[in-house]
Amino acid sequence: MMPNKEVTYTISELADEFDITPRTLRHYEELGLLSPRRRGNARIYSHKDRIRLALTLRGKRLGFSLVEIRELFDLYDAEHSSRPQLHSMIAMIAEKRASLQQQQDDIQKVLAELDAADIKAREALEKMKHH
């Protein structure tokens, strides 16, 4: 029977895959977002680190700060989260959800305004053709 070998990644593999710099990965490690093992000076990233990196980058795109992302990871990792921790996590999620909903509403309004402007511009061009 073959031993179950865990899939691991080097710093360059993750940096290339996610189109970020090795320095960014080291920064995320310093902040406690990633926790690669060491083999000499080399960092060995696990599948969990890869998932956390993807979640970190997605969280940043959605407007979470790195501190907020780490707090969420810490809350998620806590084996027996306390009531205050869980309330804190729920509040943070609700706040971010409201912010994203507002952004989505704003985007919809801007898209509607752009659609209206596009229609007016095309109508004006069409009128110019006939004159």
Tens digits of residue pLDDT in 70-122: 988 887 776 666 777 778 778 888 888 898 899 999 999 999 999 999 999 99
State the CATH number of the domain containing residue 58. 1.10.1660.10
- Give the range of the structural domain holding residue 124, as residue numbers without chain letter: 78-131
Query: Burial, 29: exposed, middle or buried (Cβ in 10 Å; 0-12, 13-18, 19+)?
Result: middle
The Cα 9–Cα 46 span in angstroms is 6
Residue 55 sits in the same domain as residue 98: no
**Is the same domain home to 85 and 39?**
no
Evaluate whether residue 106 is within a structural domain: yes
Distance of CA 116 to the CA centre of its chain: 32
Do 58 and 82 lie in a common domain? no
The pTM of this model reads 0.65
57 and 82 inside one domain: no
Please indicate, yes or no, if residue 68 is contained in any of the structural domains.
Answer: no
Same domain, 89 and 51: no
CA distance 25 to 11: 7
pLDDT of residue 81: 65
Whether the predicted pLDDT of 36 surpasses 70 = yes
Judge whether 69 lies within some domain: no
